[in-house]
Structure 1
Amino acid sequence: MAKAYLDLDIGNTFTKFQGYGGLGHLSGRFRNSDFRQIELMFGQEVAGQSVTVRLAAVGDIGHFDRIVSMLDRYAVKWYRVTSELLTDYIQLAYQDVTSIGVDRVLNMIAINHIYPKRKYIIVSVGTALTIDLLANGKHLGGYILQSPESQLKSFPAVANLPSLDIGEDVSLNPGSNTEDCMRSGVMLSAIAALEYISLKHKGYDVTITGGGAAQVSSLLSCSHQLEENLVLKGMSFIHRGCD
């Protein structure tokens, strides 16, 4: 019987999952706020099977703890994938490898396996906007910015401005009211940063992933590609501690 694995990418808003082996039919995502749906999936699809669950978590520690507690109730074997376990797969620029987000490392592992021996700028648009430079399997460092969505939500703390969602119709056009000015402004700051990095590092391909990737992609003029679920793709390439 094929080994069954279930990989979980636990973010701030969503938990994404992908099964392998006997659970190969499972894939998708749940909102973290819909924890009951996650429990139902485990009760129906995972409980009672010989399965190993691999967890990558950068989000709310409370949500991670709830998932681990659930796995323990079902007596499911699980491992947490952390950055320090992945140094055999990618050469990191960080001296303290425990301080780099595991999502960034898994993104780089995925790109390095899918497009080996190439130079890449890897952009992840989530709660934060991260940029990592990768050349032939070596991490050359990166940048962490606020994502457009996070910038919008942070304005009320520093100015007399409303808290807004980014919306779907993003634009770089000058706004004619405060809300449109804010939305265009935060997109402009993200796009300007990415265009600058792309211009500065000629010869690097650009890939964008994350929940806000499509909106950023729609406004970016430099050549780039979209990649979905890079964290889960990275997890599919690793095996340490899961045998």
Structure 2
Amino acid sequence: MYLLLDIGNTREKAALIKSGKVTALPQLAPDNLAKLPIKAVYFASVASQEKVAAIKQQLGLGHLPWRQVYSEAKACGVSNSYQQPQMLGVDRWLAMLGTQLLFPSQNTLIVDAGTAVTIDWLAQDGRHGGGWIIPGLKMQQQAVVKNTARVFNSEMFNGRLEPGADTVTGLQNGCLAAVLGAIRLAWQQTPCNKLVLTGGDSKFLKSYLSDLPIVVEPLLIFHGLARYIDM
């Protein structure tokens, strides 16, 4: 059994892999981990090394091997389109590795709908066709409210694809339309067999994209990260 970690600047996500099966680990607590036969920790991180060291100490797993995974030019049959491969966000890289594993030999559009929305094209032969990065639903709303004197928002997001009759609904519906519009435009750019959706807003967005061959895979990044075990 191995522990898989996706370490961000604000929070950590975790999963376990045992006998080839990846499962989410909702509570990353030292007491829970101490009971598990974990052999090593594989992790991706956009946080500082100081934060990684603090997490290692907090979890009480300093005695285990820790391996950090980075974006590469090529791995597991996937080719990075960046001239400086390490500059591609590691989450995007792992999402492509996960997609190529789960949906081999297909042209796919990969959408990670989180704080930012990343959109990447992956060809059936594993070539990365490049991608887009746009602000996510929450980030768009925060940017408008912060930089506009008379626009305000509510804590609850109730965006719908219809004209808003007040400021809050106008803002929320507009942000939803912007994200969905970018995804649909991306789908039109290059013919694909499947739209693979992951990230915190994926389940919400899915209902607006049901006419496309869509699959929601919340553990997509962890499937990619698991491919580095024993490499």
Cα deviation for residue 199 of structure 1 reads 1.7
Paired position in structure 2 for 1:216 = 205
More helix by share: 1
Q: How does 1:132-211 map to 2 (within 5 A)?
A: 132-135=120-123, 136-160=125-149, 161-162=151-152, 164-165=154-155, 167=157, 169-211=158-200
Which amino acid is 1:183 matched to?
Answer: Q
Query: Structure 2: where are the runs of 5+ without partners?
Result: none
> Which deviates the most, 122-131 or 107-116?
107-116
Cα deviation for residue 214 of structure 1 reads 1.1
Paired position in structure 1 for 2:32 = 41
Query: Structure 1: where are the runs of 5+ without partners?
Result: 31-36
* Corresponding residue pairs, total: 226
Closer/same/farther in 2, CA of residues 104 and 68 from structure 1, 3 Å limit: same
Q: Tell me the secondary structure at the aligned position of residue 161 of structure 2.
A: coil
Paired position in structure 2 for 1:118 = 106
Matched-pair contact (CA < 8 Å) for 2:111–2:117: yes
CA distance in 1, matches of 2:115, 2:230: 28
Closer/same/farther in 2, CA of residues 55 and 25 from structure 1, 3 Å limit: closer
Give aligned-pair identity as a percent. 26
RMSD: 2.6
1:167-221 per-position Cα deviation (integer Å, ceiling 9, x unaligned): 2x43111112111111101000011111111122224421111111111112225
Return the structure number with greater relative CO, CA threshold 8 A, min gap 6: 2
Matched-pair contact (CA < 8 Å) for 1:19–1:26: yes
Cα deviation for residue 108 of structure 1 reads 0.5
Runs of 4+ in 1 over 4 A off after TM superposition: 59-63, 163-166
> Which deviates the most, 180-189 or 194-203?
194-203
Give TM-score scaled by structure 1 length. 0.82
Give TM-score scaled by structure 2 length. 0.85
Equivalent in 3, 25, 47 of residue 6 of structure 1: 3
Which amino acid is 1:116 matched to?
Answer: P
Closer/same/farther in 2, CA of residues 63 and 172 from structure 1, 3 Å limit: farther
